[in-house]
Amino acid sequence: MTIISKKIQTGSYESYIHEGGSNNPETIIFLHGSGPGASAQANWKHILPQMSNNFHVVAPDILGFADTDHPVEYPKNGAQWMTQRVNQVLNLMDSLKIEKAHLVGNSLGGVIALHLAMYAPERFERIVLMGAGGGLTQPTPELSKLANFHNDPNPIAFKNLLRWFLYDDTGKEELLEKIVAERLEVFEREDVRKSYVENFTKSQLSDMLVPPSALKRMKNPFLLIHGHQDRLVPLESSLYVLDYLEDAELHVFKKCGHWAMIEQEEQFVKLICEFFSRTAV
């Protein structure tokens, strides 16, 4: 199925999105993770064509990343960044006339998905969180390196950083080289780099933590997917969320790091297709 890329109005600015399967009745919104040069294309380019056969799929570049318009006036802290990103998704849905949608969120995207379920639960149905940071209270050394990458953005450091996303990069040298080149090209843009610095120097993990009181009140069915060897966002983050969500299940991949959609692509697609195809009881 063909995926179309375009800009749409989301409030006072335009968001860059990838869209496919628009004739299908159910919509899934895919929210990518963070990191230097992150984008919807980098996260979901192998997943969207497969999912668009049966679902209307939409994947935006989250505010502050890639080809979505960058802020003229930057949020003052992580809480304001989160609010603006929540509003971006809701405005996107209004622009595309999507009344309700499913969500898939990776890492930062998973945190945004949880905040969307907290602030506008009536707009969302089933939610998949993959390597999500909603329960992360302390940064790992790998995550700290990611957050401070802008201090010395060189290709060797970036390749090392991306290696840490994977459990095992054996046989993936060519793939890593390609991802490094593509994402560094995006990150070297002045608007992208400035947004990255503004975001990571003014945000705290506490800005993203979702309180147990909020998690307990979420009625959506959740599927949590986590790599057992995830060093960016450890499995403990999903276990924290699982403790409080009312309707949730957890799938853990052994021999998998932060990118289940790459290291376990076939099984990842099967899992989410089955989850989104269930009939509500």
Percent of the chain with pLDDT over 70: 99
Check which CATH number belongs to the domain holding 223 and give it: 3.40.50.1820
- Residue 90: which of 110, 129, 66, 119 has the closest Cα? 119
Single-letter amino acid, residue 222: F
In this prediction, residue 1 carries a pLDDT of: 66
Confidence at 113, pLDDT banded by 50, 70, 90: very high
Q: What is the pLDDT of residues 171-212, one digit of tens each?
A: 888 888 888 889 999 999 999 999 999 999 999 888 888 999
Euclidean distance between CA atoms 217 and 214, whole angstroms: 5
Convert 71-120 into a string of H (helix), E (strand) and C (coil). Answer: CCCCCCCHHHHHHHHHHHHHHHHHHCCCCCEEEEEECHHHHHHHHHHHHC
Task: Report the alpha-carbon distance of residue 34 to residue 43 in Å, rounded.
Answer: 10
Total domains, the chain? 1
Mean pLDDT of the region 159-177: 89
| CA distances for 105 relative to 6, 76, 207, angstroms | 21, 24, 17
pLDDT at 172: 82
Residue 235 belongs to domain spanning: 4-277
pLDDT at res. 281:
42
Whether pLDDT at 280 is above 80: no
Q: Which of 182, 203, 201, 207 is nearest to 67 (CA)?
A: 182
On the question of pLDDT at 104 being above 50, the answer is yes
CA 78 → CA 81, 82, 84, 85, 179, distances in Å? Answer: 5, 6, 10, 11, 27
Q: Give the strand pairing for 27-31 and 248-253.
A: unpaired
pTM value surpassing 0.85: yes
Average pLDDT value for residue range 54-79: 97
pLDDT at residue 6, rounded to an integer: 98
- Mean pLDDT (the chain) is 95
Q: Which residues pair with 5 in a beta bridge?
A: 18
Asked if 258 is an active-site residue, the reply is yes
Taking residues 121-134, report their average pLDDT.
96
pLDDT at 15: 98
